[in-house]
Amino acid sequence: MGSQYEGYKSPLSTRYASQEMQFLFSDQYKFSTWRKLWVFLAKAECSLGLEISEAQISEMEKEIYNIDFDAVAEEERLTRHDVMAHVHIFAKQCPTAAPVIHLGATSCFVGDNTDLIVLRDALQLLLPRIASVVSQLKQFAETYKDQPTLGFTHLQPAQLTTVGKRACLWIQDLLMDERALSRCQQDLRFRGVKGTTGTQASFLQLFNGDGKKVKQLDQLVTELAGFKKAYAVTGQTYTRKVDVEVVAALSSLGTSIHKMCSDLRILASRKELEEPFESTQIGSSAMPYKRNPMRSERCCALARHLITLFSNAANTHATQWLERTLDDSANRRITLSEAFLSADAALLTLLNISQGLVVYPKVIERHISQELPFMSTENIIMAMVKAGGDRQICHEKIRVLSQEAGAQVKQHGKDNDLVDRVRKDPYFAPILNQLDNILDARTFIGRASDQVEEFVAEEVEPVLARYADALKTVKDVKLNI
């Protein structure tokens, strides 16, 4: 019925996010993980003395990836329960193991534990992406650590910095994101086997009141799933505070990406810097000459959506009454997947940008020449004082010349001619041979170059060292659209 183009598809899957991240949030990954969890549970229960045979476990293992999604969908239409639909179909495929599938468990055993596995694996996928961007920006910062450029405060020209030093500001934010997401990954635990309201009552019954075995069961399943620890207490679900922490870190990453790409868009407008632009790329349908920063704009768009998702996670946790409510389910299906898919897509785009940034030093130098004369006035005064001049007289001379030059710029749209006015004024004759040095942009950048070197050595390299193997395999990113 109908064409594939007649239903909604998320642009995160059709245009932006990687296949690897999409797979982690796919039905195949989700429901095969459910089946793995049922196998883990059976193995652990068997090892602790319940009557579960190796043949039953082997039968289940063979069918982990063989999911009949059509049959499951039909079953769910009858049962109106997704977990039981999968239990029934899995049981039909594993008739010998059917009596022990999902033994003692509640729906959240597979639902919540699978979510935690997905969160863990998705974080593992994102962290090297951040490191890859940092690695590229590190190289950029080192290349341009000595390139003077106008700094800006209030989006108005301020003291000079360097192109490389500015890139370090972007890197610093991303390092904070790497730290936050690493902490989320390290802090992440498993729900384990906790029963319907977290009391483990059903498992205590299975083991005839042997609480020690129930505790062992919890730890065994946790370890089989690849976690060191489970949350010590849960309601029916693991606390949604976990989602708040993870999505908060992802949203924070979104702010870093948005800030950096906003800077790139401003610099592109000034023609000082440009993101990669392919030979066949079209900037505008109406204006053929344009080279729009569409990649940076895409990053900002995705990052802005990512930032907004935090409120969903926060409000969901805030409204989980007592041991749980079900109004988290539909929201989390959207929020968790879109948070990771958006972060993934934005990082891939940012990596593409950082692999091909182009700097235009001559444009930067021209912009500096328009502002530096005003910034150099204090240095000119100091030079005159050293040459025997009176500071107050010199200040007034410079003030008048500066106002005249400013009028040429603002009222007549001409270039800043303050230096020419200084050269023509006999008062400044004692320092004319020093003017070129006084106006050398490199003397206005302070310790910017040294700061880049120190920052890279002390802050960046130790983080990148943890991702050395992953960074060896990074390839140039080609965006599909």
Could you state, in chain order, the average pLDDT of each consecutive group of 10 residues for the chain (481 residues)? 78 90 96 97 95 95 95 92 94 95 93 97 97 97 96 91 98 98 97 93 94 96 96 94 97 98 96 78 48 92 97 94 90 95 96 95 93 83 89 91 87 86 89 86 92 98 95 77 59
Task: For residue 101, give the H/E element and its range.
Answer: none
CB 41, CB 96: distance < 8 Å? no
Q: Looking at residue 270, what is its pLDDT?
A: 95
Which DSSP symbol is given to 46? H
Task: Identify whether 154 is a catalytic site residue.
Answer: yes
Residue 271's φ and ψ, nearest 5 degrees, are 60, 25
Q: Looking at residue 481, what is its pLDDT?
A: 59
Query: Could you tell me which of 138, 123, 148, 126 has the C-alpha nearest to residue 355?
Result: 138
Task: For residue 281, give the H/E element and its range.
Answer: none
- Claim: this prediction has a pTM higher than 0.85: yes
CB 67, CB 31: distance < 8 Å? yes
Question: How many Cα atoms within 13 Å fall on the side-chain side of residue 249?
Answer: 24
Distance from the first to the final alpha carbon of the chain = 29
Which of 53, 58, 284, 311 is labelled catalytic? Answer: 284
What are the tokens at 305? 């959506």
Q: Looking at residue 246, what is its pLDDT?
A: 98
Report the distance separating Cα 150 and Cα 157, nearest Å. Answer: 6
Q: Looking at residue 2, what is its pLDDT?
A: 61
Q: What is the total residue count of the chain? A: 481
CB 246, CB 184: distance < 8 Å? yes
Chain centroid offset of residue 466 CA: 18
Total Cβ atoms within 10 A of residue 404: 12
Sign of CA dihedral 61, 64, 65, 68: positive
Chain centroid offset of residue 45 CA: 40
Which DSSP symbol is given to 469? H
Residues with Cβ within 8 Å of 157's Cβ and at least 6 positions away in sequence, in order, are: 150, 151, 371
Task: Identify whether 262 is a catalytic site residue.
Answer: no
Report the distance separating Cα 66 and Cα 398, nearest Å. Answer: 82
What are the tokens at 149? 């450029």
Tokens 């977990």, located at residue: 83
Domains of the chain: 22-100 (1.10.275.10), 107-276+289-360+460-472 (1.20.200.10), 377-438 (1.10.40)
Which of 3, 154, 279, 412 is labelled catalytic? Answer: 154
CB 254, CB 340: distance < 8 Å? no
Q: Looking at residue 453, what is its pLDDT?
A: 98
Task: For residue 47, give the H/E element and its range.
Answer: helix 27-47
Q: Looking at residue 151, what is its pLDDT?
A: 94
CB 174, CB 183: distance < 8 Å? no
Residues in a beta bridge with 161 = 149
Q: Looking at residue 289, what is its pLDDT?
A: 46
Q: Looking at residue 291, what is its pLDDT?
A: 76
Residues in a beta bridge with 190 = 230
Q: Looking at residue 380, what is its pLDDT?
A: 87
